[in-house]
Structure 1
């Protein structure tokens, strides 16, 4: 039986009614991870409503156990540069 491989890191993006409206944030993370060949290092998951609608959109990063609120595209770009290690080209 073959061994299942899992990425070391995971990015959970709330997909509740308010957070789910911010599709551009999820799309940015997805495209950036793909463009930087990080699919084997980090995986994106949609999570159910986190009941933090006043702070939408919510993003949760593991294994660092970091929660981010009101994630705009600018904030997403800063997150990528600090918490997701870029591979050298």
Structure 2
């Protein structure tokens, strides 16, 4: 039986009506992951509305179990560094 190896860490990026407008944030995460050679370590998932529109854009990181609010390009870089 063969096994498949999946990344141990994940970023869940809200893609609701308010958060989804911030496409540059997802691009920044992808770029930081690629530049850091972390594509086998961290995977990005788009999620439906998290109901936290007041804090858009929202990002959830696992396994740290951290929610990040009002994420901008600089915060996106720092989130990847912390992971």
TM bucket normalised to smaller: over 0.9
Q: TM-score, normalised by structure 1?
A: 0.87
Count how many residue pairs are aligned between Structure 1 and Structure 2: 83
Deviation at 1:80, TM superposition (A): 2.1
After superposition, give the CA deviation of every residue in 1:19-62 in whole Å (9 maximum; x if it has no partner): 00001111000111112211110100001100111100000000
Structure 1 CA distance, aligned partners of 2:36 and 2:75?
18
- Identify unmatched segments of 5+ residues in structure 2: none
Q: Does 1:21 align with 2:21?
A: yes
Structure 2 CA distance, aligned partners of 1:42 and 1:75?
17
Structure 2 CA distance, aligned partners of 1:10 and 1:34?
14
- Identify unmatched segments of 5+ residues in structure 1: 85-89
Structure 1 CA distance, aligned partners of 2:57 and 2:24?
11
Q: Which residue of 2 aligns with 1:59?
A: 59
CA RMSD of aligned residues (A): 1.0
